[in-house]
Amino acid sequence: MLHQPIALLRKYFDILWGNDLPDVETMFPDEYFSTSEKYHLYKKEERKLILRRFLVIVFLIFISFVIQEIVKSINFDLRNNQTVLCWDKPVCIYRGAKLKYPIASVFQTKKIEDGKILFSSPNAYGRYRIFAARDYEDYANLTADKRKSAIAEKKPSFQIYDIEKNKFEKFDIPLWQFSKEELKKLSRGFYFDDKNRKVIFLDNSYFLEGYENDEDFYVYNLEDKSLTLDFATISENTKYYCGYQYGNKVLCFTNYSNSVIYDEYLNGDYSDDFFAEIIEDSDNKLITQPEYLYTFDLTTLKMKPLASFDVNPKFFPQNDSIIFLKNGKIVIPIYQEKIKERKIWDHIEIYDPKTRKMYAEFNTDIFEKNFLQVEDEKGNLIFLNEGDSYILENDSVRFRKIQNPEVVEYNEYMVKKLRNLAKITFNSGDKLNFASYVKSLPLSEGKFLLIYSNKQRFIRNFRTSNMFVEFPNPKLYRTIYVDYYNGIVQEGPQLPINLGKTTKKTITQIDKNKYLLVGGQRKMCEIDYSLYCPTEYSYIIEVK
- Where along the chain do its domains lie? 3-76
Confidence of residue 86 (pLDDT cuts 50, 70, 90): confident
Q: For residues 524 and 78, is the Cβ–Cβ distance under 8 A? A: no
Q: Give the span between the Cα atoms of 459 and 215, in whole angstroms.
A: 46
| 163 Cα distance to chain centroid | 19
Residue 482's SS3 state is: strand
Considering only residues 133 and 89, tell me which one the structure prediction assigns the higher pLDDT: 89
Of 544, 373, 494, give the one whose Cα is nearest residue 442.
373
pLDDT in tens, 124-176: 665 544 455 555 555 555 555 555 555 556 677 888 999 999 999 988 777 77
The CA distance from 123 to 102, in Å, is 9
Do 102 and 537 contact (CB within 8 A), yes or no?
Answer: no
What are the two backbone dihedrals, phi and then psi, of residue 157, each rounded to the nearest 5 degrees? -125, 140
Q: What is the dihedral of CA 407, 411, 412, 413, to 10 degrees?
A: 100
**Out of 29-43, 84-98, 386-400, least confident range:** 29-43
Inter-residue contact 6 to 30 (CB < 8 Å): no
pLDDT digits (tens, 9 = 90+) for 359-407: 999 988 888 888 888 998 888 999 998 888 999 999 999 999 999 999 9
Residue type, 473: N
What pLDDT, on the 0 to 100 scale, is given for residue 140? 52
Helix%, strand%, coil% for the chain, nearest 5: 30, 30, 40
Strand partners for 21? none
Q: Are 176 and 156 in contact (CB under 8 A)?
A: no
What letter represents residue 153's amino acid? E
Q: Answer for the pair 425, 497: CB distance below 8 angstroms, yes or no.
A: no
Query: Side-chain half-sphere of 344: how many Cα atoms within 13 Å?
Result: 7
% of the chain beyond a pLDDT of 90: 19
- Picking from 289, 297, 278, the residue whose alpha carbon sits closest to that of residue 208 is 297
Sheet of strand 342-352, all strands in order from the earlier edge strand to the far edge: 323-324, 330-339, 342-352, 357-361
Q: At residue 485, does pLDDT exceed 70?
A: yes
Residue 440, strand partner residues: 450
Calculate Rg over the CA atoms of the chain: 31
pLDDT at 378: 85
DSSP state of 124: E
Query: Which tops the pLDDT comparison, 478 or 281?
Result: 478
Highest-confidence segment of 11-20, 101-110, 412-421? 412-421
Report whether 533 contacts 102 (CB < 8 A).
no
- Checking if the pLDDT of 358 tops 90, the result is yes
Which residue has better confidence, 518 or 471?
518
pLDDT of 90 over the 50 cut:
yes
- pLDDT greater than 70 at residue 241: yes
**Cα distances (Å, whole numbers) of residue 171 to 31, 156, 157:** 85, 11, 9
Residue 357 has pLDDT above 90, yes or no: yes
- What are the angstrom distances between the C-alpha of 468 and each of 151, 244, 408? 22, 34, 45
Q: Which residues contact 528 (CB under 8 A, 6 or more apart)?
A: 468, 469
Tens of pLDDT, residue by residue over 498-507, are: 776 556 667 8
Alpha helices per DSSP H over 429-497: 434-437
* CB hemisphere CA count around 178 (13 angstroms): 17
Q: How many CB atoms lie within 10 A of CB 28?
A: 16
Contact of 483 with 446, CB cutoff 8 Å: yes
Q: What is the pLDDT of residue 342?
A: 55
Q: How far apart are CA 251 and CA 298, in angstroms?
A: 11
Instruction: Calculate what percentage of the chain has a pLDDT beyond 70.
Output: 72
Work out whether the CA dihedral 373, 377, 380, 385 comes out positive or negative: negative
State the Cα–Cα distance between residues 378 and 445, nearest whole angstrom.
12
Strands 124-125 and 116-121, sheet pairing: unpaired
Per-residue pLDDT at 175:
73
Instruction: Report CA 39 to chain centroid distance, whole Å.
Output: 73
Least confident of 33-47, 295-309, 328-342: 33-47
- pLDDT at 343 exceeding the cut of 70: no
Residue 58 scores a pLDDT above 50: yes
* Average pLDDT of the segment spanning 78-84: 77
Name the residue type at position 483: D
pLDDT at 275: 44
Nearest Cα residue to 336 out of 314, 320, 317: 314
**Residues 173 and 197: beta-carbon distance below 8 Å:** no
| Of residues 265 and 540, more confidently modeled | 540
SS3 call for 160: strand
pLDDT at 82: 80
